Amino acid sequence: MNQAISFEVTEQNFAAQVIEASHQQPVLVDFWATWCGPCQSLMPILEQLAQSYQGKFLLAKVEIDSQQGLASQFGVRSVPTVKLVKNGQIVDEFTGALPESQIRAFLDKHIENESDQLMQQALMLYQQGDSEAALSQMGQILQAHPDNLNNKLIYTNILLREQHVDEAKKWLESLSAVANDNPQVQAMQAQLEFIHIVDNAPDMVTVQQQVADDPDNSEARYQLSAHAILQGQFDIAFEQLLEVVKRDRQFQDDAGRKALLKLFDLLGDKHELVSSYRRKLALALN
C-alpha cells in the first residue's frame, strides 16, 4: 500500500498528517484496535478503497490503545470508528464495519470525482433544455461509473421529470437495499406509485366530480390525491387522503394512511405541510 495514501498516525504527527493535510484533500481517520474483530475486517476494505480512489482521500489509522490521547480527544467510545476530516474539521463519521457499498456512498458525498464532474456537465445541458442529449450522456456516465449512487439518483430523478417512467422504475429497482433507506430513493419510489395511480384513473376533473357527487367514494378521493400530487397541489392531496383515513380505514388495506406516509417521504420533514398533517393523521388514528 502506498504510504502516501495510507499510514499510521500518532499524537505527535496527527496535526501535520491529518489536520493540515485535510486542507489539500479529505482524510479518512480509522480508529481501530488490535483486539477488535470488526476492525480487522474493515481495514482491508478501507485500504482497498484508498487505492481505488487513487489518492482522492488519505487513510490515517489510529490504534486506540497506543494512542489513547487521540481516542479521548475525538470522543471515540467504540471501535471501529471512522471520521472524515476536510479543511481541518470533522464533516462526517460512522461506526462499525460497514460493507464496501455503504462506505463508497459515505465517501461519494464528500469526494468529487470524474463522474461527478461529467454529471454536472450533463445537468447543465439538461438545464439548457436539451433533455434527450443530457439523458443520453447521463446513461453513458453511469455505464462507465456504475458505483456512484448520487449520480444514479440524479439520473433517475430526471427520468421521472421527463416521464420516462418505465426506465426510472428499472433504475429504482436496481438500487441496493441499503440505498432504499435513502430519503431521495424513498421520495422517488413514492412519486412512482402516485404516477401509477394516475395512469389507472380517470382525469382529474372526472374524479373531482365523483367526490362531489359521493363524498364517501374513497377510490375517487385516492385518485384525486394522486392527480393533485403530480400537479404540485399538495394541500388538496393531503386533505383528500386524510378524508380517506377518517371515512374508510378498510379501503385497499388502509391505502389512505399508507399514501400519506409516502407523501411525507416525497416532500420531506422540512415541507411546511408535513408536520401539520402528521399531527392530523395521529389524531385521526386515535
Cite the active site residues: 36, 39
Q: What is the CA radius of gyration of the chain?
A: 24
CB 205 within 8 A of CB 213: no
Residue 178 in 3-state DSSP? coil
Residue 93, class by beta-carbon neighbours within 10 Å (0-12 exposed, 13-18 middle, 19+ buried)? middle
Nearest partner of 116 among 144, 158, 86, 156, judged by Cα: 144
> Rounded distance, CA 23 to CA 27, Å?
9
Task: Write down the H helix ranges in 109-233.
Answer: 114-127, 131-144, 149-161, 165-174, 183-199, 204-213, 218-230
Beta strands 58-63 and 27-32: pairing type? parallel
Taking the C-alpha atoms of residue 170 and residue 165, their distance in angstroms, rounded to an integer, is: 9
Q: Residue 8 half-sphere exposure, CB side, CA atoms within 13 Å?
A: 7
Max CA pair span of the chain: 78
Taking each continuous run of H as one helix and of E as one strand, the counts in the chain are 14, 5
For CA atoms 247, 249, 255, 260, give the dihedral sign: positive
> Is the bond leading into 80 cis (omega within 30 degrees of zero)?
yes
Residue whose entry in the numeric block shows the C-alpha cell 455503504:
102
